[in-house]
Structure 1
Amino acid sequence: MKEILVDSNIILDIFLDDPNWADWSESTLTRYGGQTNLYINPVIYSEVSIGFKKIEELESALNKGGFRMLEIPREALFLAGKAYLQYKKRKGSRKSPLPDFYIGAQAAVLDLDLITRDRGRYGTYFPAVRTICPE
């Protein structure tokens, strides 16, 4: 089984006890976390940090969740820029989609699966990345 990058929305579902998504996200991480490594990157770390007042609390929660940190390789940063350019040429309207492009590009370059609730953008710009999403 491939290793997995976990999008921030999945982690925040659990940490913030989202009434619609926490159960799905928790059961998905439990199922896959028992079979392979689960990773985050600095972008995901930053996005998840909004739910915490102290860095020590965030570190403790991420360690308890079994998440490992991956740095973003230059090839992924380059690919993220190219995907963002395609997005802008297609008249993408979201003001700050770049974090999603960093995440998708890293999954593509490192050949990781991705657990997310955002199938659309990842599927469009990173079709080689297998996304694990709610049905």
Structure 2
Amino acid sequence: MILVDTNVLLDLVTDDPNWADWSIAQLEAASLRGPLLINDVVYAELAVRYGRIEELEAFVGEAGLEIVPIPRAALFLAGKVFMQYRRSGGSRTGVLPDFFIGAQAAVSQLTLLTRDVGRYRTYFPSLTLITPGI
């Protein structure tokens, strides 16, 4: 099973000229390995791009995504990692969603498909990542 990060899905939604082809190819390859999962955080981040829930639901269905809840152990880990981030001088406020996603992948032993390499490798070094070769 593969957890898909928001940035990969937004590449499709926005038809990103730099990343859409890579993201489509990775999603197709990943779907052959098992179910493609998103969590509530990814769903909420995608919702920003849609005017109606029915449109988002249609995208989720067409993309073959399965929504899975974040386990409590992952929520706890995300909080701890966020605290570590802040103590090490991190000042960005929008990072907590990434920590929810990374913690779920770590706790549930899921491969994570993402373009956000640095933060996941730094705070979740045990994760198996599918990333661009940047």
**TM-score interval, smaller chain:** over 0.9
- Give the aligned partner of residue 28 of structure 2: 30
Q: CA deviation at 1:93?
A: 2.3
Cα separation, 2, equivalents of 1:4 and 1:97: 21
Give the SS at the match of 1:34.
helix
Q: Look up the equivalent residue of 2:8 and give its one-letter code.
A: I
Say how many residue pairs are matched.
Answer: 133
Q: 1:42 aligns with which of 15, 40, 43?
A: 40
Q: State how 1:82-93 maps to structure 2 within 5 Å.
A: 82-93=80-91
Structure 2 residues not aligned, in runs of 5+: none
Q: 1:104 aligns with which of 102, 105, 110?
A: 102
- Give the aligned partner of residue 78 of structure 2: 80
Cα separation, 2, equivalents of 1:94 and 1:20: 25
- Give the aligned partner of residue 132 of structure 2: 134
Where does structure 1 differ by over 3 angstroms across 4 or more consecutive aligned residues?
none
Q: CA deviation at 1:34?
A: 1.9
Q: CA deviation at 1:51?
A: 1.3
Q: Look up the equivalent residue of 2:29 and give its one-letter code.
A: R
- Give the aligned partner of residue 58 of structure 1: 56
Q: CA deviation at 1:35?
A: 2.1
* RMSD, aligned CA: 0.6
Q: CA deviation at 1:96?
A: 1.8
Q: 2:114 aligns with which of 116, 124, 133?
A: 116
Q: CA deviation at 1:49?
A: 1.1
Cα separation, 2, equivalents of 1:30 and 1:103: 21
- Give the aligned partner of residue 5 of structure 2: 7
State yes or no: 1:69 paired with 2:58. Answer: no
Cα separation, 2, equivalents of 1:35 and 1:111: 15
Cα separation, 2, equivalents of 1:37 and 1:128: 21
Cα separation, 1, equivalents of 2:124 and 2:37: 18
Percent identity among equivalent residues? 52
Q: Look up the equivalent residue of 1:104 and give its one-letter code.
A: G
TM-score (norm: length of structure 1): 0.96
Structure 1 residues not aligned, in runs of 5+: none
